[in-house]
Amino acid sequence: MFFDEITNALPSIQGMAYNIVLDREVNGKWQLPENCRVVAAGNSMKDSLAANQLAEPLFNRFAHTYIETDAQSWLEWATTPDKSYERMDYEDDAPEYKIHPAICAYIAWKGDSVLRTDYNGEKPNADPRKWEMASKVLSKTKQPAMLRALVGEDITYDFSKFCELQVITLDDVLEDNYTDEDLNMETSQKFATALAMSFVEDENIEKVRGFVKKLGPEIRATFDSLWINGSEERVGRIQELTLMDQGQQKTDGGARR
**Strand residues in 46-136 grouped as ranges (E):** none
Position 165 pLDDT exceeds 50: yes
How high is the pLDDT of residue 90? 40
Position 53 pLDDT exceeds 90: no
What residue type is assigned to position 192 of the chain?
Answer: A
How high is the pLDDT of residue 55? 83
How high is the pLDDT of residue 85? 46
d(CA 146, CA 138): 7
Q: How large a percentage of the chain has pLDDT more than 70?
A: 90
How high is the pLDDT of residue 256? 58
How high is the pLDDT of residue 23? 84
For the CA atoms of 47, 146, 74, 202, what is the dihedral angle to 10 degrees? 180
11 — pLDDT class (breaks 50, 70, 90): confident
How high is the pLDDT of residue 78? 85
Position 17 pLDDT exceeds 70: yes
Q: For residues 179-199, give the mean pLDDT.
A: 91
Q: For residues 54-78, give the mean pLDDT.
A: 87
How high is the pLDDT of residue 257? 58
How high is the pLDDT of residue 95? 45
Position 66 pLDDT exceeds 90: no
Q: Domain segments of the chain: what residues? A: 2-59, 71-252
Mean pLDDT, the chain, rounded, equals: 85
Position 185 pLDDT exceeds 50: yes
**pTM for the full predicted model:** 0.70
How high is the pLDDT of residue 119? 83
Q: Which residue has the higher pLDDT, 183 or 68?
A: 183
Q: What is the DSSP string of 15-57?
A: GGGHHHHHT-EETTTEEPPTT---EE----TTT-TT--PPPHH
Residue 158 near residue 117 (C-beta atoms within 8 A):
no
pLDDT digits (tens, 9 = 90+) for 81-124: 655 444 444 444 444 668 888 999 999 999 999 999 988 878 89
CA neighbor of 67 nearest in space, from 123, 8, 129, 120: 129
CA neighbor of 130 nearest in space, from 108, 110, 109, 107: 107
Q: For residues 6-15, give the mean pLDDT.
A: 85
How high is the pLDDT of residue 222? 92
How high is the pLDDT of residue 141? 92
pLDDT digits (tens, 9 = 90+) for 26-35: 877 889 999 9
pLDDT digits (tens, 9 = 90+) for 192-203: 999 889 989 999
77 — pLDDT class (breaks 50, 70, 90): confident
